[in-house]
Amino acid sequence: MLAGSMLTGVLAFCSGMGMGLLLATAGGGTLILSIIVLHYLLGITHTALFGTAAAVTTVNALFLFRLRREAFYGALRPALWFGLPGLLGMTISRMIPHDVTTKWRLALLGFLMIINTMLSFILPKITRQSRGLHRKRLVMAGCGIGILVGYFGGTGGFLALPSMLITGLPQSIAVSSSILTVAGFSLTAAMRDIVRADVNWKVVLLYVLGVKSGLLTALRVLRLKPSKTFHWMAMALILLGGIFLLQQNWFSLYTPCLALYDGIKGGLWNEFAT
C-alpha cells in the first residue's frame, strides 16, 4: 500500500516535470494532456478526474502566465470579452442535467482534441486577422465555449484558442488571451469540485510541483525557447492524445449513437409505413 502510494507520488512529480517542459517550449495548448496523465498514468478515479484536472490546469496556466507575463500585453481585454460571457455559458451548462458517463465525456473530449488540432493547423492560414477587437464575435464564441467548458470542466478551455482565431484575433494575442481564459474557466470549474471534495490534493500538489520544476529547468537550465518545431511536436501529441481517448472510450459514443439511429429509423418507418 505504502509502496503503491510512493510510486504514484514519483510518477506524479515526474509526469509534471514532463508537462512543464512541454508548457515552456510549446505553450498552453498542451494543458489538455494533463487529463490523460491523471487518469491513465496516475489512476485518478472517474469521480475525482475532472475536478483534479481543473485544479491542475488552473495552477499550470497561472505558472505559464507568470513566466511569460511580458508576452501578455494587449491580451487582457480580449480575454475579458471572451471569458466573462464564457462564465455565463458555464453557468447555463451547469443548470442543464448531464446524465452521461465519464467515458462518454472522455470520448467526446478526444474527438474535440482531434478537431482542435486540425483547426489549429488550418485557421492561422485561412482566417483574416485584424487589429480591431471584434467584441460581438468574442462574446458569442466565449459563451459557446463556456457551455462546453461547463460540460467538460476546466479541461474544455483548450477550445478557446481556435475560437479566438475564428473571431479574427491575431494569433500572437489569441495565444496569450486563451491562456488567461483557460485559467479563469478552470478556476471556476474547480471551485465546485473543491467544495464537493472531488479533488485528489496529493496528486495535485506533487504534479504542479513537477510542472514548476520542469518550467524552471526548461527556461533557466536548458535555456529552451518556444519554436515552430516544438509547436508542431505539441500539436502531434495533442492529436495522438485525442485519438487515444477516442480509442479507449469509443464504445460509449457508439452505443447512444446507435440508439439514436434506431430511434430515427423506427420513427421514419412508422411514419411512412402507415
Spell out the domain ranges in the chain: 2-273
Q: Which three cell numbers stand for residue 83?
A: 471569458
**In Å, how far from its chain's centre is CA 21?**
17
3 pLDDT exceeds 70? no
Calculate mean pLDDT across residues 146-161.
79
Using 50, 70 and 90 to split pLDDT, how confident is the model at 265? low
- CA-to-CA separations, 273 to 11, 259, 264, 265, 269, in angstroms, rounded: 60, 21, 14, 12, 6
Is the pTM higher than 0.95? The answer reads no
Mean pLDDT of the chain: 82
User: Can you give the length of the chain in residues?
Assistant: 274
Using 50, 70 and 90 to split pLDDT, how confident is the model at 212? very high
Q: Which three cell numbers stand for residue 268?
A: 421514419
- Bigger pLDDT: 269 vs 245: 245
Q: Name 111's Cβ contacts closer than 8 Å, sequence gap at least 6.
A: 242, 246, 253
- Taking residue 243's Cβ as centre, other Cβ atoms within 10 Å add up to 15
In 3D space, the residue among 163, 158, 161, 166 whose CA is nearest the CA of residue 126 turns out to be 166
Chain segment 213-246, per-residue pLDDT in tens? 999 898 888 888 777 788 888 889 999 999 999 8
In 3D space, the residue among 195, 239, 236 whose CA is nearest the CA of residue 55 turns out to be 195
